[in-house]
């Protein structure tokens, strides 16, 4: 409880009463509020049954219809349970003390504020609205952008869906920002072309840039030396991805006649570094299993590696 200092009787005002006042204010002024999704229910909205997220705003409950979450084509919304959503209040039911939320409108309001203040180098929380093997589709303060796989981590990531889920939030840094209507150089397969940012502007971000570059630790490794590595990924087409340490990954082919069958993710293997090319961030290496080290009459086969 809190007390009203304007009254001698010290009228008690509950947090629920304050929350209800804020909800009604959001309906009038379109002030953006934030609430956690605590359930998924199908309820009638304007006479039609709709799947909705149930929100809890300081003890006041409301519904966020699926069609008002985002313009992204979500296959399901169960994975949003426990996540926090920005919204403005679209409708208030005084009898039931329930409200209907609109996130799309809230995102539009936040986007306008973002373009007025955002600068390259700033760090923001990004909401993951979609995931594919190669890209994360994000919303940052109402602005849509794509984070490419190479900008997620220094480590090799085969499929981003194995690393992150829809509804997750991660920190990203703005690496390129073009405000709506401004011109910029757009990269294409044929080079760079002049382009104009549309009404949503243009944004490039990186999650990897916020982490320490593991290549700085390459001074701890020497050519012609052998080190213990951990298999991060076994890829039948691209070979083995082996971590010398987290983020410092060497890619090699499979030894002859192995076909990758003897190797498993998480297994430790010996990696001999043949050459280290600091300028191009490349390592030539050969790999062999502990069993092969016992076969003195067999020589390990030379393979190429790439440190990411």
pLDDT of 257: 63
pLDDT of 132: 92
pLDDT of 57: 95
Let me know how long the chain is. 308
Q: Extract the residue ranges of the chain whose pLDDT is less than 50.
A: 1-3, 293-307
Q: Which residues pair with 239 in a beta bridge?
A: 235
Which tens digits make up the pLDDT trace of 238-247?
A: 778 888 888 7
Which tens digits make up the pLDDT trace of 282-295?
A: 888 888 755 554 44
Helix H, strand E, coil C: the string for the chain is: CEECCCCCCCCEECHHHHHHHHHHHHHHHCCCEEEEEEEEEEEEECCEEEEEEEEEECCEEEEEEHHHCCCCCCCCCHHHCCCEEEEEEEEEECCCCEEEEEHHHHHHHHHHHHHHHCCCCCEEEEEEEEECCCEEEEEECCEEEEEEHHHCCCCCCCCHHHCCCCCCEEEEEEEEEECCCCEEEEEECCEEEEEECCCCCEEEEECHHHCCCHHHHHHHCCCCCEEEEEEEEEECCCEEEEEEECCEEEEECCCCCCCCCCCCCCCEEEEEEEEEECCCCEEEEEEECHHHHCCCCCCCCCEEEEEC
pLDDT of 296: 38
Which tens digits make up the pLDDT trace of 103-147?
A: 999 999 999 999 999 999 999 999 999 999 999 999 999 999 999
Domains within the chain, CATH numbers bracketed: 2-105 (2.40.50.140), 118-210 (2.40.50.140), 214-306 (2.40.50.140)
The residue among 165, 171, 208, 201 whose CA lies nearest residue 74 is 165
């Amino acid at each position: 409880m809190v007390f009203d200092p304007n009254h001698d009787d010290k009228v008690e005002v509950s947090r629920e009463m304050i929350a209800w006042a804020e909800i009604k204010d959001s309906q009038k002024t379109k002030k953006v509020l934030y609430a956690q999704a605590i359930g998924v229910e199908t309820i009638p909205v304007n006479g039609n049954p709709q799947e909705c997220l149930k929100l809890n705003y300081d003890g006041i409950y409301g519904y966020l219809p699926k069609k008002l979450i985002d313009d992204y084509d979500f296959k399901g919304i169960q994975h949003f349970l426990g996540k926090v959503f920005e919204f403005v209040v679209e409708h208030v039911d005084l009898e039931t003390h329930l409200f209907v939320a609109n996130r799309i409108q809230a995102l539009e309001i936040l986007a306008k504020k973002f373009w007025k203040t955002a600068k390259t180098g700033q760090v923001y929380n990004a909401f993951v609205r979609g995931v594919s093997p190669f890209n994360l589709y994000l919303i940052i303060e109402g602005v849509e952008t794509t984070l490419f796989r190479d900008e997620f981590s220094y480590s090799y990531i085969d499929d981003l869906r194995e690393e992150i889920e829809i509804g997750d939030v991660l920190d990203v840094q703005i690496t390129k920002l073009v405000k709506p209507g401004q011109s910029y150089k757009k990269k294409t397969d044929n080079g760079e072309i002049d382009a104009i940012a549309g009404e949503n502007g243009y944004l490039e971000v990186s999650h990897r840039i916020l982490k320490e570059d593991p290549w700085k630790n390459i001074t701890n490794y020497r050519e012609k030396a052998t080190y213990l590595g951990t298999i991060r990924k076994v890829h039948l087409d691209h070979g083995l991805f082996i971590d010398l340490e987290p983020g410092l990954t060497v890619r090699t082919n499979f030894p002859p006649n192995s076909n990758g069958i003897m190797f498993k993710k998480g297994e430790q293997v010996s990696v001999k570094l043949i050459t280290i090319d600091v300028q191009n961030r490349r390592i030539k290496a050969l790999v062999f299993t502990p069993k092969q080290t016992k076969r003195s009459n067999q020589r390990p086969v030379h393979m190429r590696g790439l440190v990411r």
